Amino acid sequence: MPIYASIAVKTQPDSYIQLNCGWETACSQLRICIVLSALYATYKAYLSIQNENKKDADAFLQAAPIIAFLLITTGLFDILAVYDSGNDNYGLCQNFTEAKGFEFEKVGLLDLLQRSRINCGFSLFWTIGLLACVCGCAIAHSKAIMLKYRQSIAVGSL
C-alpha cells in the first residue's frame, strides 16, 4: 500500500520518523512495461507522420487500443489502491489513539507517538494514477486522429 508518513516526535531534541512504503515491485515492473509500450507506439505514430508510412500508422492503430486500456485500467487500480491505503492507515494518519494493535505498544513508543504530530501524504501516488488515466485517454484520442490521417496517406507510400 503506498503511503508516505512523517512523524514529528516531541522529545529533547526534536526527532522525526519517516515512513515510506511505495508500490510493490511487481506492480512497478508492470507499469514500466506498459509505459515503454506506450512510448514505442507513440514513436511509431511519429514515424508514420514524418515518413507518411501506412505500415507505421497501422502498427500504432493496432497497438493503441490495448495500450490505452492497460494505462487506464492500471491508473484506476492505482487510484483505488491509494484510496484504500488512506482507509487502511487511518489509525496511523488520522487517529493514532486507535493504534493499540501496532507493534509500537510492545517497544514502548505508543505513548510517545500519541503525543506527536503525524503527517501522511499520498499526493505523489495520486498523481501517478491520475497521469496513467490521462495518458491512456490521450492515446485513445491519438488513435482517432491517426485513423483520419491514415486515410490521407497516398497509396504509393506503402
Question: Can you tell me the distance from the alpha carbon of 142 to that of 48, in angstroms, rounded to the nearest whole number?
Answer: 13
Q: What is the dihedral of CA 77, 135, 25, 33, to 10 degrees?
A: 120
Question: What are the residue ranges spanned by the domains of the chain?
Answer: 3-157
What pLDDT was estimated at residue 101? 53
By C-alpha distance, which of 117, 95, 122 is closest to 3? 122
Q: Which residues of 45-83 are buried (b: 16+ CB within 10 A; e: fewer)?
A: bebbeeeebbebbebbbebbeebbebbbebbeebbebbe
Question: Can you tell me the distance from the alpha carbon of 60 to that of 25, in angstroms, rounded to the nearest whole number?
Answer: 29
pLDDT string in tens for the chain (158-residue length): 566 666 666 666 777 777 666 666 556 778 888 888 898 888 888 888 888 888 888 888 999 999 999 999 989 988 888 888 766 665 566 555 555 555 555 555 555 555 565 667 777 778 888 998 999 999 999 999 888 888 887 654 54
For 29: left if phi > 0, alpha if psi spans -120 to 50, otherwise beta; the answer is alpha
User: Is the entire prediction scored with pTM above 0.85?
Assistant: no
Residue 56: enclosing H or E segment and its boundaries?
Answer: helix 54-88
User: Residue type for 21, please?
Assistant: C
Residue pair 122/86 in contact (Cβ under 8 Å)? The answer is yes
